[in-house]
Structure 1
């Protein structure tokens, strides 16, 4: 699948492969013999999300970006819950398929950044350099929350989750701009091509399994995450947006930033960058700057 949008410089190509019992859609940019960068998108997003950033690379790269399970054109597993370790298993299988030996460059945004961060501490020998775009993790939890979390999950299982549909593709683009007001009309129109499709009723539906909306019954155990981060041997580039919206679930900004910094202190080799005039979708808001910082980091 390619786009005809006028500002797209680097057209992507699609490939479908079998990964752990699922048909996985993998998007590629660049020539196969160029240095590889694996990119993992965030929650309720798709691989095409990285297009604007890829367009600003000045070096030759082979960018490999899958639609994660249950997103985009990759199969959903057909279950009523998603388990985070499955993303690690899928990434491991993808790397074995494309780069069976040696270390690779890994980049992730949001949920995808949480995946690559855990992976880099679990298989440190497989990661050359790591780029984390706002992979904060989740709010700290406590064991006493477990009964309520299990109860909420059981209650949600009694009703079929649904995602809203839209009357037109332009309505999908408008929805994307509502979430991110910095998104230009052209970029929103481009993303809507990959973020949605027309169904049999003539409505436009989001390419994401509604089961992603279900509450996870498992608590986020931050100490385990930091234990993984401590084992990362690759240099890490951390990028955070100055206008990120994570404070609505991480807590007030001052307290939330202290917790983020506490977590980041467990990464042995860390370079931090604050991206100005950008929100959580910083690769949409400042793609040229991100491309510049990423290339400088990977090439040094």
Structure 2
């Protein structure tokens, strides 16, 4: 039986960009004459993740959203994936889509973490940032470095295995298992854009190399040093279910992190998981547009 598939109210279009020698896919919604927004998706996702939220937005916007290297319709990087490469790609994309004017950025998870750091590295290029459930990772103690490097070296002995699915509908079922809030039609829409044809079936549309562990330590003080340089207004939007488990106080925890932003604020959207753009797109759209249009 055919499963219902969500029909976008605002269809998108795509074009290709050359970003530091890699072919990038850039997805666009809206009229190029409307105010520009740059949307950035998270790890092991694609630009289509924002479709439900964009359909719910009341204003007229020209939204541009790349698929990160190794994701969706963008090319894979055979040397692997490094946080600094994403930052350099972002810097290049900003120069292409808005050569002069500072940008408004709306970003999820990995994208939100990149956007808040970028706002401090290039303060003149970013006007506002909305980070959707992206608050940076926990600090990594130095003594864990040998084990992290060991696991990373070991991971290069073989290509990471990936699960294959018999159909897009089976992939949609997997998405709904991971997120009970997803309706069948939205899960089918997401799965149809995440699916990558492989021998005998489908796999999720990202380079399986992304499954390798990172060899680098995450140092929250380094991220915070960049946050403190940001001139942009920054809004952190927290997923309700995850926020309830966050440590609020203490060095490196949520309130400490928020205090590192000169013009930072936060809001929580109840009854949502990490993918707020799927769980409460109407509420998220209203919060984002209110923030972007505030004087």
Pair in the same fold by TM > 0.5: yes
> Mind listing any 5+ residue stretches in structure 2 that lack a counterpart?
none
Going from structure 1 to structure 2, the CA distance change for 1:106 and 1:205 (only over 3 Å counts) comes to same
Cα distance in 2 between the residues matched to 1:257 and 1:182: 30
**How do 1:1-300 and structure 2 match up within 5 A?**
5=5, 7-79=7-79, 81-199=80-198, 201-244=199-242, 253=245, 255=247, 259-300=253-294
Question: Partner of 1:55: helix, strand, or coil?
Answer: helix
SS at match of 1:165: coil
Q: Secondary structure at the match of 1:271?
A: strand
Please report how far the alpha carbon of residue 143 of structure 1 lies from its aligned counterpart in structure 2 after TM superposition: 1.3
| Alpha-carbon distance in structure 1 between the residues aligned to 2:21 and 2:137 | 28
2: CA distance between counterparts of 1:188 and 1:261?
34
Equivalences, count: 289
With normalisation by structure 1, the TM-score equals: 0.93
Cα shift readout 1:78-135 (whole Å, capped 9, x = no counterpart): 12x3110111111111111111002010111001111111100100110111101111
Q: Give a deviation string over 1:190-230, Cα, whole Å, max 9, x none.
A: 0011111323x330111100111111111001100000011
Are residues 6 and 212 of structure 1, via their aligned partners in 2, closer, same or farther at CA, if it must alter by over 3 Å?
A: closer
Runs of 4+ in 1 over 3 A off after TM superposition: 4-7, 254-258
Deviation, structure 1 residue 5? 4.8
SS at match of 1:150: helix
Any idea what the Cα deviations from partners look like across 1:120-172, whole Å, max 9, x if unmatched? 01001101111011112112111111111111111111121122110100011
Deviation at 1:271, TM superposition (A): 2.0
Q: Distance in 2 between matches of 1:195 and 1:62?
A: 23
Q: Where in structure 1 are there 5+ consecutive unaligned residues?
A: 248-252
Quick one: distance in 2 between partners of 1:5 and 1:105?
31
What is the rounded CA distance, in whole Å, between the counterparts of 1:254 and 1:68 in structure 2?
A: 28
Question: 1:278 deviation in Å?
Answer: 0.6
SS at structure 1 position matched to 2:181 = coil
Two-structure CA RMSD over aligned residues (Å) = 1.6
CA 1:274–1:103: 2 relative to 1, 3 Å:
same
